[in-house]
Each structure stands twice: as structure tokens, then as C-alpha cells.
Amino acid sequence: MPAGSIANAALICVAFISITLFAGPAFARAHTDVIILKNGDRITGEVKSLQAGILKVDLDYVDGTISVDWRKVARIESSALFLIQMNDGSIHSGKLVTPETLAGAPVKIEIYTGSEEPFVVDKAQIVRLNEAFESRWKRLGGNITIGSQLSKGNNTTQYNIATELDYQATLWGGKFSQSSSLSASTGAATSTRNQLDVAVYRVLRWNSYFYGGSAGYLQSTVQGIQRQADVAGTVGRYFVNTNRVRFSVAGGFGWQGTQYIPSSGAGQQNLTVALLVANLDVFTFKKTTLNVNASLVPALTDAGRYFSRVNASYYLKVFGKIDWNLSFYGSWDSKPPGNLQGSDYGTSTGLSYTFGNK
């Protein structure tokens, strides 16, 4: 069953990549966008996205995309429609034009949303940019990470696979993440861990605020968890949202149900819970990315008991869309039933491939 779960996860990853690779050419547009850098260089191509302070541009005479430091851009002109996220969390759909400004003045960008008059913002206020594709498939982006480790000393073998998939619309978005690990060593039982998380959110009218819902699944042989499912509703806020750092906190309430292994005698436990989630993303141009997600889940119907999870990933760019990845995962239970373990944590390394609108 665990090995089958990892195989199924691999098939899902392959499907995601196949859709992205083969759907791309059908939705290509003309390379007529103009980007002028502060040193006077002029680039004509197709603006693809702005992520983590990196403007991705596709050129018809270059295989693949080039990465441009957003801080170095002095002017951008495009007739295409984009989904534009501001540093206050708001998202707009519109076209981009840079008006004339005095030398040395902060760069301004006009956003045409279809109304008679555009609204003008500082370039630094724009933290994310994606093409507003009519096709929902083209709004998808994500990555897949695969790794393995072999230790001769105790004959230990470990396999890891993880995927992320993002979807962005004008006022809402969603994220799917999956991670699976299998570890086997001489003289010890094979251990597996599988985690799935789905989250959706919608921007509120108040700057930097959003609300959303989440659902999760966890299986851990170390903690004796056959399956653990949870659902929750939250309200959150972006405290920092720039091209270098994004930090948000959300809180709410939900339900958690856990089925433990038969030998524990714990059976099924259903709990009403509170939820506090923090997300931190840190970027450096063309070099590294750090993603940290941490959650604290106090049990409201089991006084003094709380659960927590941490997932952290560090990406170091190797070339193109390939990154080296170092990840940490952990889950804790302050009052595990019977003689079960209260924690399960570990690290993994591998190579990551980024695909789609990301």
C-alpha cells in the first residue's frame, strides 16, 4: 500500500508535467512586449510572469525564458492581460503601461483594468504577475522534487517524492501539495509517511486580508497513524508581501479525525480544533528560495492536547528550471494514545523541476 501510494504520486506528477509541456505551444502569443532596463538595454519578447522578484521573459530567438531582476526594470509595455498582485494582497486583471517619469524618480506603472482611467502604482508595489489565460490549465504552475539516499553502514535506503501545484485567478487562488517518503533499513520495519494538503483562499476587500479553507491528510507509520484527515476555515493577513519576502498568518476552526493502528487500542478519534498557520517565503535573485509552513492545532475537545506540523524547503538554483532541494518535515502530538510515538520528523534532499505558470 505505501509503495503504491508513492507510485500513484509519481504518476500524478508526470500527468501534471505532461499537461504543462504539451499545452504550452497552443497558447503562445506574439513576442511584442517591451522591457527597458535602467542601464538602457531594451528587450522585446513575451512577458510570462513575475515571481520572487524575477521577471520571466520568453524570446523568439532563445530556447526557453530569461530571468530579469525586477528591480532593474525601468519601463514595461504590454498589450496582454495579466493577473497583478499588489503588496497589500489585492489582485487586479489588466494591462501594463509605464508612463514617462523624471530621471531618478520612482518608476510608476499604469494598470488598465477596462475602466476609462487607469490607476497608477509604484513598480515596487507589484509583487506577482501572471498571464491571465483564458484556459484554466495555463494558470497552473508548480514543481516536482525527487530524491533518494543509500547508506551502506546500516543498509538504509530512503526515497522521497514531493509535488506542489498552484492556481491563480483574479480574486482567489489555490494550492495542492503532496509529499511521500519511504525508509527501509536492515533489522527495522519499513516506515512510510504520506501527506496531502489542499488550500483555497479569496482576497477580502480590506487590504492584506483574505479568507479560505483547507483540507489535509496524513499517514505515518512512526506515529501509528493509519489515516488522519482534517478540514478547517480560516481568516488571514499578509504582514509582509514584497518581491523578497512574503509572510502571512491565518487562524480559524476545524475538525480532525484520526484512525490509529489496531494494536494501539485507540481506534478512531474525532476532535474539534482551533488552527493557527504561518507561511514564510524568502527569495534571492536567481539563487535561493526558502519556504516554511508551520501550523499549531490545539484540540478544543481534549483539553491540554495540541498538534503541530512544520514543512520547510530550501531551493538552490542549479540551472534553468532545475533546483537542488533540502527539505524538513515534522509532525507532533503532545498526548499520543497508548505507547505510540508523539513525533515524526526527518530531512530529505533531491532535485526539483519547476513547470507551468511559475
What pLDDT digit, counting tens, does each position of 93-102 carry?
Answer: 888 888 766 5
State the average pLDDT over residues 61-82: 84
Q: Which of 6-10, 239-243, 333-337 has the lowest mean pLDDT?
A: 6-10
Tell me whether residue 22 is in a domain.
no
State the average pLDDT over residues 113-129: 81
Between 297 and 185, residue with greater pLDDT: 297
Q: Is the pLDDT of residue 71 over 80?
A: yes
Pull the grid cell for residue 352: 526539483
Q: Is the pLDDT of residue 198 over 80?
A: yes
Tell me whether residue 2 is in a domain.
no
Find the radius of gyration of the CA atoms of the chain.
22
Both 186 and 247 in one domain: the answer is: yes
State the average pLDDT over residues 333-356: 89
Both 124 and 211 in one domain: the answer is: no
Q: Quick one: pLDDT at residue 136?
A: 65
pTM of the model: 0.75
Both 252 and 332 in one domain: the answer is: yes
Both 141 and 123 in one domain: the answer is: no
Domain around 330: 137-356
Tell me whether residue 24 is in a domain.
no
Look up the CATH number of the domain holding residue 317. 2.40.160.40
Q: Tell me the three state secondary structure of residue 17.
A: helix
Q: How far apart are CA 303 and CA 292, in angstroms?
A: 28
Q: How many residues does the chain have?
A: 358
pLDDT grade for 351, boundaries at 50, 70 and 90 = very high
Pull the grid cell for residue 205: 476587500
Instruction: Name the range with the highest mean pLDDT among 33-37, 160-164, 230-234, 242-246.
Output: 230-234
Both 191 and 118 in one domain: the answer is: no
Residue reference for cell 505507547: 339
Both 163 and 220 in one domain: the answer is: yes
Residue 274 · residue 349 · CB < 8 Å? no
Domain total in the chain: 2
Both 75 and 115 in one domain: the answer is: yes
Tell me whether residue 211 is in a domain.
yes
Both 164 and 259 in one domain: the answer is: yes
Both 89 and 148 in one domain: the answer is: no
Q: How far apart are CA 21 and CA 138, in angstroms?
A: 10
Residue 241 · residue 88 · CB < 8 Å? yes
State the average pLDDT over residues 26-48: 81
pLDDT grade for 103, boundaries at 50, 70 and 90 = low
Tell me whether residue 270 is in a domain.
yes
State the average pLDDT over residues 190-208: 89
Both 190 and 91 in one domain: the answer is: no
Both 172 and 125 in one domain: the answer is: no
**What does the buried/exposed string (b/e) look like for 73-111 if buried means 16 or more CB atoms within 10 Å of the residue's CB?**
bebbebeebbbbbbbebbbbebbbbbeeeeeeeebebeb
Both 347 and 210 in one domain: the answer is: yes
- Tell me the pLDDT tens digit for each residue of 288-334: 889 999 999 999 999 999 999 999 999 998 887 899 999 999 999 99
Tell me whether residue 325 is in a domain.
yes
Q: Quick one: pLDDT at residue 358?
A: 64
pLDDT grade for 158, boundaries at 50, 70 and 90 = confident
* Domain termination site, one of 85, 105, 131: 131
Q: Which of 48-57, 216-225, 235-244 has the lowest mean pLDDT?
A: 48-57
Angle, vertex CA 344, rays to CA 234 and CA 227, nearest 5: 60
Q: Quick one: pLDDT at residue 65?
A: 81
Tell me whether residue 14 is in a domain.
no
Mean pLDDT of the chain: 83
Q: Is the pLDDT of residue 105 over 80?
A: no
